[in-house]
Amino acid sequence: MSKPNEAKIIGASLPRIDGPEKLSGAAKYAADNHLPRMSYAYGVFSTIASGRIQDIDVSQARQMSGVLDIFHHGHFPTLYRTPSSMEQENKVDETRLPFEDDKVYYPGQFVALVVAETFEQARAAAYRVKVDYASEKPIADLEQALATGEQPKPHGESGHERGDPASAFNQASNQIDVIYTTPMETHNPMEMHASTAMWDDGSLVLYESTQGVIFARNTMAKIFGLPVERVVVHAPFIGSGFGSKLWIWPHAVAAAAASRQIGRPVQLVVPRQQMFTTTGHRPATQQHIQIGTDAEGRLVALSHETVNATSMVNTVAELAGRCTPTLYSCSNVKVSHATVRANIGTPTAMRAPGAAPGLFALESAIDEAAVAIGMDPLAFRKLNYTEHDEGQDLPFSSIHLMEAYEKGAEKFGWSRRNPEVGSMRDGNELIGWGMAACNWEALKQDSEAHVSLRSNGTVYVSCATQDIGTGTYTVVAQTASAVTGVPVDRIQVKLGDSTYPRGPLAGGSWATATVMPAIAKAAKAAIEELKTYATGDDGPFQEASMDDLQFSDGQLSDGNGKSITFGELLKEMKLANADGRATTSGEMNSDYSYNSFGAHFVEVRWDPGISRLRVSRVVSAIDVGQIVNQKTAANQVEGAIVMGIGMALYEQTEYDPRSGLPVNNNYAEYLVPTHADQPPEVDVLLLDHPDYNFSEFGARGIGEIGITGLAGAVANAVYHATGKRIRSLPITLDKLMA
């Protein structure tokens, strides 16, 4: 049998196998499940940012048509907190239970929940619930939190220090000492957060928009005091999440509790406005970077200190310096992270958490250092290139960053760049060229999988991971096809159900690397079971040993001209299937550091006459090991590029500094890139070098890396065009016209 990674199906450019279901409307998302006797819930959300609830008057709302019950801190069942552990797979970001007390910690907090016969009735009644507050002066954002004088709380385990960075910086020939800031960003996936909950004989069934059915199951079991076997979570399709759907939020707990209380299924969809307040965000950061170089431009000191805003309920650090210890060669490095509290909802992971805002700052500072000594920014990065992770003192398992620099630069035409600011022009437009490195750690976890060779000639594969729109269904089918030789269109993939063999979260760019080995091992186990049947007393190869049999292209053969498809064999023996189950470990060889790398090259155009800034061209060269599917991989990077443009030019969640209330928590005023904002030219170069030190397939994750560094590349291009060094995202027109 050929190695899975040698099969032609790995690396092919295949369309997504789940596409027809999604395009036809057959795919069911969390809010598409309409259960018998289902009721609907709608939240009442705090209109203050800090304070206490003095009174909740539900009398008028209770009299409205269709109302079944109204829950709040004075009327809600007793539940349990979860320990919130990654290891136990029951993590939450907001450990406070819904309606746990009468305190208001952030604007838009759930303060009551109306359940009614219809969605319209629940919403109408929610508007009639009257809440009286004792309001307190809020800490609205990071700026106000830092101004209170409260010392930032260090996040010690995420820091790094080597050498003597302070002394080395003071003695450096050239110094850069700058502060960068990034705003709060909100995930805004297409599918809104939704929960459809029902109870059946003391067991909870939850249709949830989640990136982790196993985590959701374990978390809900803890909260409701149930064994995990009494909780089932379904999430076969998710309309993206970008990290906001990794963990359970209060709305899911409230929906499940309300369903148990009234004895009927309950569906709760979080309105778009409250997705800005109750389901996480990328926190605002302030990053202080110091870079020292010698006279030739070699890094001699690098310090990256970050403070981010977190909530009053939980502490979440944005690890903006996570790439800093490893990306460049430098003997004296310091990285630290700290948090300050504000009256905001709890932050959570957002695509490339830490690395996205962190590489905006680091790659902008690297550009500043290159410009300060009169060196080409690409040449500066090449000079400080390393193939050794100096943070861990380990070689990288595989690194082709230098190739990414060279191929990206060649495709982009970087050699034609005039380094003088504002020197490149096309008609009324000033042209700016900027670049940045990108980086993300390579991760994988433990996983289980089930593969069944069926008598009808098809292959069934199941795993309790999720496809959040990234192409996991297709990758799983490709993996099974690579091992069995069965065409993808004859492979049925089932994901997103907690009753399936345990699978990973769909986040952190680890799902593909995690599930592929488990699928392959389970497929091989199914083939071995098939061989057992084939060589048994009633089998067609009873004269042969199992070692004599070969399996390829869906057929068993003995090497002497006799062969039979697995479907025919199973039918002949009156067997339904041959099953294989497998468990694989996410443990990695400690002899290496595992990372993915790349480089972005960006062109911006600035028309000062009409104050128009646009990104006109992007070339991204990405090194993520083996490319499993050319089409879906390129699509992931393209999407990340657009999201990075949004980060650079548009996105920021804003709060009124007086009231602490959000002021643009809607899709009219929270700006994201539209089709018209996307560059007319986007080239993604996938280097495709398998990393067999990482896994048998050599594939690392690709979901996060495309956004890392992109905002820095845009900012560097803006400087090249305009001469304005914008250190505070987003790069809005007022900053360029100031």
Please give the Cα distance from 679 to 674 (Å, whole number).
10
Strand partners, 287: 180, 306
What amino acid occupies position 238?
I
Give the CA-trace dihedral at 237, 240, 242, 246, to 10 degrees. -30
Please state, as a whole number, how many other Cβ atoms lie within 10 Å of the Cβ of residue 23: 9
Please give the Cα distance from 447 to 481 (Å, whole number).
19
Catalytic position from the list 89, 368, 651, 704: 704
Please, is 317 exposed, middle or buried when counting C-beta atoms within 10 Å of its C-beta (0-12, 13-18, 19+)? buried
Count of residues for the chain?
A: 738
Q: Residue 704 catalytic?
A: yes
| Encoded tokens for 660 | 């602490």
- The label of the residue with tokens 């060094």 reads 725
* Cβ proximity of 622 and 595 under 8 Å: no
Please state, as a whole number, how many other Cβ atoms lie within 10 Å of the Cβ of residue 690: 19
Strand partners, 579: 452
| Encoded tokens for 172 | 């450096």
| Encoded tokens for 86 | 């990654």
CA-closest candidate to residue 728, choices 615, 625, 673, 648: 648
DSSP run (H or E) holding 527: helix 511-534
Backbone φ and ψ of 353, nearest 5°: -55, 135
Count of alpha carbons within 13 Å of 378, Cβ hemisphere only?
A: 26
Contacts of 100 (CB under 8 A, 6+ apart): 73
Please state, as a whole number, how many other Cβ atoms lie within 10 Å of the Cβ of residue 271: 17
- The label of the residue with tokens 């067609």 reads 540
Question: Could you give the angle at which helices 710-722 and 355-372 cross, rounded to 10 degrees?
Answer: 30
Helices (H), 36-189: 59-62, 119-126, 142-147, 165-170
Count of alpha carbons within 13 Å of 33, Cβ hemisphere only?
A: 23
C-alpha distances in Å from residue 252, one per residue of 119, 123, 315, 661, 722: 16, 17, 21, 24, 48
Contacts of 316 (CB under 8 A, 6+ apart): 93, 283, 308, 310, 339, 346, 347, 348
Contacts of 273 (CB under 8 A, 6+ apart): 108, 662, 665, 666
Question: Could you give the angle at which helices 213-224 and 250-262 cross, rounded to 10 degrees?
Answer: 50
Sign of CA dihedral 539, 542, 546, 551: negative
Please give the Cα distance from 502 to 447 (Å, whole number).
6
* Cβ proximity of 604 and 614 under 8 Å: yes
Q: Which of the residues are catalytic?
A: 704
